[in-house]
Structure 1
Amino acid sequence: MKKDIPVFDGHNDTLLHLQDGVTSFYESLKDTHIDYYRAKEAGFAGGFFAAYTPSREQEEDRYNYMNENGYKFPLPDRITKEEALGFTHKLAAQLFRIETENPDKFRVVRNVKELKDSIDQGTMAGIFHIEGAECIDLSFDSLYVLYEAGLRSIGPVWSRSNDFGEGVPFCYPSTPDTGGGLTDKGIELIQHCNHLGIMIDTTHLNEKGFWDVAHATTAPIVATHSNVHAICPISRNLTDEQIQEIADSGGVIGINFAVNMLRADGKMETDVSMDEIIAHFRYIADFVGVDHVAFGSDFDGTSIPDILQDVSGTRKVMQALSEDGFTEEELEKIAYKNWVRVLENTWKD
């Protein structure tokens, strides 16, 4: 690469590590993938900061079985709106706390001008994203309140069921066609998000839910942290038909660094090569064009390849993409311009 290109990322779960309200984003956080100073050193321009309410089950137990030759996990139990809303408020507060602690270093962005200005000025930008819409009431009052607070992106489901739809379970090998699609209220959620200009994330939806979003939405279709099913046939990855639909809508796919979604064998083992990572970027770029692939790391929400270590690995990926033959213009699109374009065509303000 001829120059350092800022990287804007489609998904992280860093707020989970700040939920105590004491730990600071500006500390050296040894047990996380992201903190401010490591991110800044890596050229990390910001990203979608997820508010995700964990399931009651111990998800670590599930990961222990992902090294078998095939696995199939049932969807976790539902969580209540009350617990989801309380936890969403807690994580959103941590995002706003990052900004208020150092407003010259970090900004919660609510429109495209703020995002562009932040990237140009070197101020880290955070987008408030909700992963799993359990906190949204069926009258959608909370959606409007959260929008005014800064919500600009939402995934209707995580990999469990709620009032809006059914998530895709973690299964390998498996297609994403694992269950029912969006409910009537799920379709209403899409319509309200289109009205407000909230980006809709199809990540964690099963295939029927994905197509329900595709048919209902008026905005570009997005999968913030998903990979290529043709390379790694796990239920969480996107089929060629889904990839094509996203591209046809003008949308984008953020490449997820979760090892079990990168590896052809679907295992939760971290000895993943850079070639295996780049293969997912290259597949989408060759299949539907470089305008439809970006970063969607899932930092602080999954096990990532040893070769990446943490957020510093984004620089290694950019260098590898360059060595794979992507031009400077194409690298800028993958790094941040594709996300900016999609938000320009989605957000209303």
Structure 2
Amino acid sequence: MRGAKPRGTSGDRVTLPTEPAIFDGHNDVLLRLFRAGGPMAAEQFLTGRAGHLDLPGARAGGFGGGFFAIFVPSNDIDLDDTTGRMRAGSYDLPLPAPIEWEDALPVVMTQAATLFRLEELGALKVCRTAAEIRVCLASGTLAAVLHMEGAEAIDPEFHVLDVLYRAGLRSLGPVWSRPTIYGAGVPFRYPSDGDTGGGLTEDGIDLVKRCNRLGILIDLSHMTMAGFWDVARQSTAPLVATHSNAHAITPQARNLTDAQLDAIAASDGMVGLNFAVAFLRPDGRMVDTAIDDMLRHLDHLLHRLGETRVGLGSDFDGAIIPSDIGTAAGLPALRRAMAEHGYGAALIERLCHGNWLRVLERTWGA
């Protein structure tokens, strides 16, 4: 039943599954901690904080780790206005202004330092190989992949990229929803045919090639359609969208068309399901929705990509997500819903973490 709450078996007690562990394609907790004080605020993650993800919630929900995004926020966005416009039946929000390298780099360094402070505090381990993630999942240690969403802080000579790689960067989205020297960003637009503008620049093509050489995953989640196909032509690695959904169900500019999904399948890549309600609801509105909409997208992704190429990419702390989940502590409700929907135990394990490990092994070579 749509929106139904899980049923217990003994009185009012509800037993929900916390296994298999979930390895997730995207969260923005580093941005939230940056706004709260950066490394000085890191202890909030250990003790509990307002938001979707912290260590107590991760343990309660069986959240085993994921991609921790570094993100440079735009100062020209009114979040209340953006949210209000996306609650309407249609919208087309302007792209935020570009951010200069000199302004972006200090933010990136502070957020990276925050992640390493979390590691110092024992909250997580920064993983550079799939083997390290496997060890963390087996031991109950939170596994973190250092990811960057938007490459504003990377110079065209790639000195910053090389340094960040040695520090642990293993995943990069060349753009967010604003232009960089590497390519165009995707606007928040509904409805949309998905074709919203230009693709990679010459610097962007060089960035793809450098990431391929280093073994850095190239995230397609914020690429325009033209940019997607530019990466598909240039990249030698599996095509991966860490937190995206199906355009056939929700024709939002951020979602992937069937042709794009087919290209991802042909490359043996994968897609992580985004929990953001505006990318889940068929009407594209930023209002609450049920887990049923998540399952509808999962069904479509599985149909186009196959059972070994779909995972989860929550966008915790970066989006409004279904209230039936609420926070990382609510992830057992999603496991329960997948089982009740008819997904078998082997498929649920692949969706929760197995497929991410597979594609990371292919991309990183370890």
Change (3 A) 1:119 1:297: same
Higher mean displacement: 281-290 or 71-80: 281-290
**1:252 paired residue number:** 270
Residue 348 of structure 1: how far off its partner (Å): 4.0
* Cα deviation 1:308-339 (Å, max 9, x = unaligned): 11112221111111111111111111000111
**2:279 paired residue number:** 261
Give yes or no for contact 1:278–1:317 (8 Å, CA) kept in 2.
no
SS at match of 1:46: strand
Residue 59 of structure 1: how far off its partner (Å): 4.1
Give yes or no for contact 2:17–2:332 (8 Å, CA) kept in 1.
no
Change (3 A) 1:3 1:309: closer
Higher mean displacement: 151-160 or 322-331: 322-331
Give yes or no for contact 1:196–1:348 (8 Å, CA) kept in 2.
no
Change (3 A) 1:78 1:3: closer
| 1: CA distance, partners of 2:77 / 2:179 | 17
| 2: CA distance, partners of 1:179 / 1:287 | 25
Residue 287 of structure 1: how far off its partner (Å): 2.5
**1:241 paired residue number:** 259
* Cα deviation 1:122-169 (Å, max 9, x = unaligned): 111000000001111010111100000110000000011010000110
Residue 211 (str. 1) matches residue 229 (str. 2) = yes
Give yes or no for contact 1:42–1:311 (8 Å, CA) kept in 2.
yes
Please, which of 175, 178, 200 is the counterpart of residue 160 of structure 1? 178
SS at match of 1:26: helix
| Moved beyond 6 Å, runs of 4+ | none
SS at match of 1:127: strand
**1:172 paired residue number:** 190
Please, which of 33, 56, 78 is the counterpart of residue 98 of structure 2? 78
**1:150 paired residue number:** 168
TM norm structure 1: 0.96
| 2: CA distance, partners of 1:92 / 1:312 | 25
**2:355 paired residue number:** 338
2:55 partner letter:
Y
Please, which of 25, 33, 49 is the counterpart of residue 18 of structure 1? 33
Residue 320 (str. 1) matches residue 337 (str. 2) = yes
| 2: CA distance, partners of 1:331 / 1:225 | 18
**2:3 paired residue number:** none
SS at match of 1:159: coil
| 2: CA distance, partners of 1:22 / 1:142 | 24
TM norm structure 2: 0.92
1:294 partner letter:
G
| 2: CA distance, partners of 1:330 / 1:42 | 19
2:67 partner letter:
F
2:337 partner letter:
A
1:112-151 aligned within 5 A: 112-151=130-169
**1:300 paired residue number:** 317
| 1: CA distance, partners of 2:98 / 2:304 | 37
| 2: CA distance, partners of 1:184 / 1:314 | 41
Residue 40 (str. 1) matches residue 55 (str. 2) = no
**2:299 paired residue number:** 282
1:204 partner letter:
H
| 2: CA distance, partners of 1:28 / 1:140 | 37
* Cα deviation 1:197-243 (Å, max 9, x = unaligned): 00000011110000001111011000001001111111000000011
